[in-house]
A and B are shown apart, each in its own frame.
Chain A
């Protein structure tokens, strides 16, 4: 798998002291080429002091989970506007489970009908963001969710 097209964006305002910036993987999965939202979110999170890794386009769920593990991220923010969310997002959740990755928040954003969003949340997605969501709200959510004490990321790779 090629890792060359990762884009890493260091936070502009790294928190002082012991506090380590939250690491977020902004992920584009499947064949969807709509990257406007993903890029806007990546910049908004960076400007809010987070460390953002952007997957680049056309990734498989396997590649996304692998990146999340390698980069030791706290959050995977998946952007999907292709209608394939009910197949690709559950696959990511399943792979995270298989790799025994816990404490990674999965957020999803894009053109997702509300009924599907409910199902995805039941499956383990922390939040689903619809078109029109303000980035400030997403930043607040991530700060709130990640302020809950985090256990060490447990990864067992066979």
Chain B
């Protein structure tokens, strides 16, 4: 490329600078900082040039939307065909409280449900477990039994709405509860659709809500994928998640690398269990964070699609095009929200949401302005939903697919993300793979290092966060905070006690015994789990009998 950029300066010999001489530029024009870098620490040049982009060729590295390797999007029409799903994650208090919130969200134009469970549920514990004191209904809705699940979806037609459930360690039997509700409603398993997160690897790496050691959890995940393929074909039995990895402090590069490595691990386990890659691969889905570094996030989403397509085709030999597609949900970055001047969070979340849309997300959650303080109020959630609707209808960004495709910087950064991810794949291989890496604390240490480095930048004011270390207000404006009534815990415990009295005790004992017996074999546990939840065995009782077979996990903490 012969493009030269004449630079007008006062120096005697006016120099014509070529793209290859960035250092010369820096000598002549002083810049604000010595180094400009992305949130992941990738150094960014002053400007980019055609030479920087698409060196691998258009068809090979980008290609049209809907064409391998899908860098520009998995569908040829994307939002011209169908908008992304507005999926605001919510859940708090009792199943009845949350059921009311769902009905409100649906009435406001939400197009998919997303269930946030409380910590006891995430850990497979019943509301009346002594370890759950003070936790019931606090950061999500508490579900201890099928009865709770029935209340949660009371009056909501499961054949008409898709439901995403953020549940991991006990995902198999929480899903069984959902399937039981669907059956009771008369909604065919062949027609219902939704997602269970069911990604235990990122729990060990980042979110830290587990029950058993990694291997039995992996077996349960393979069981759910297998069951889904055979019996609930429109379901996504796993959402391989980078979101929590990012929230725990990782960089964008680490988020992408660790998530895709986890994805490959699940594929490997499924293939080893005898599943055919082209049967289950189309059901896999992903979940990413959208943080504040706008272009890096967009590059991350684009690189994710390309890497996954190549991995599925070349490494795992998938033949069907559907098996190569990386579909993903996005949530804006909770960790970018600030308590100070909370209104500013609306702006942060809107930009993050825009990055997700420009990155081609399939569904989206926009965080609410009050979430550094607690769960969002109805009003705060409405603003989040409206942010999505403004993006969809007013901004014009949905008119064309991958509008940033071909931008020198975006293409360069997409390539760099891919290179950096490959380096991490190499490192993960060096520590022996994903499970040995978890046991050795490799991922946890990498994330902790990145989180600390980020905080130090803020402490030293090398990175400005508006309202936190600059542009402060004497007094931060007061905002309304959602209060979870303490009665939620009592109500849930009473409901559970009453259920234990009412149900057929013998049937429960028998189903739990059958489940435990099956757990000792290598057969798929879904049928036994389904029978157990239908007999109203509780979440904690099921976890209990499985723990006796599988054991419990305890983390060796690294700082």
Contact = CB atoms under 8 A, between A and B. Distances in A.
Interface in B202-223: 203, 207-209
Interface in B47-73: none
B446 interface: no
For the complex of A and B, list the 9 residue pairs with the smallest distance between their C-beta atoms, beginning with the closest: A87-B134, A33-B208, A83-B138, A84-B134, A31-B119, A56-B557, A132-B468, A131-B372, A113-B481
A101 interface: no
Contacts of B340: 132
A132 B338 contact: yes
16 contacts: A31-B119, A35-B208, A36-B249, A36-B447, A36-B451, A44-B452, A44-B455, A54-B557, A54-B559, A83-B135, A83-B138, A83-B375, A111-B374, A113-B374, A130-B372, A132-B372
A86 B134 contact: yes
A113 B247 CA distance: 20
Contacts of B34: none
Interface in A38-61: 39-40, 42-44, 46, 52, 54, 56-58, 60
B459 A31 contact: no
A7 B135 contact: no
B98 to A, nearest CB: 15
Contact of B134 (A36, A54, A88, A134): A88
A65 to B, nearest CB: 15
Interface string B452-467: 1001001100000101
A22 B489 CA distance: 38
A59 to B, nearest CB: 10
Interface of A: 2, 4-7, 9, 30-36, 39-40, 42-44, 46, 52, 54, 56-58, 60, 81-84, 86-88, 91, 111, 113, 115, 130-132, 134-136
B448 interface: yes
B455 A84 contact: no
Given A5-B556, A7-B559, A31-B120, A82 B247 contact: no
Nearest to B375: A83
Contact of B335 (A32, A36, A84): A36
B555 interface: yes
Contacts of B458: 134
A83 B458 CA distance: 26
Nearest to A90: B134
Contacts of A86: 134
Contacts of B484: 83
B452 A39 contact: yes
Given A91-B133, A130-B372, 15 more contacts: A5-B556, A33-B119, A34-B208, A34-B248, A36-B247, A36-B248, A39-B448, A44-B452, A44-B455, A82-B119, A83-B139, A84-B134, A130-B339, A131-B337, A132-B338
Interface string B545-559: 000000000111111
Contact of B555 (A5, A39, A82): A5
A7 B558 contact: yes
B455 A135 contact: yes
Nearest to A132: B468
B139 A135 contact: no
B132 interface: yes
A43 B452 contact: yes
Interface string B437-457: 000000000011001100100
B559 A43 contact: yes
B450 to A, nearest CB: 10
Given A39-B452, A40-B451, A31 B556 contact: no
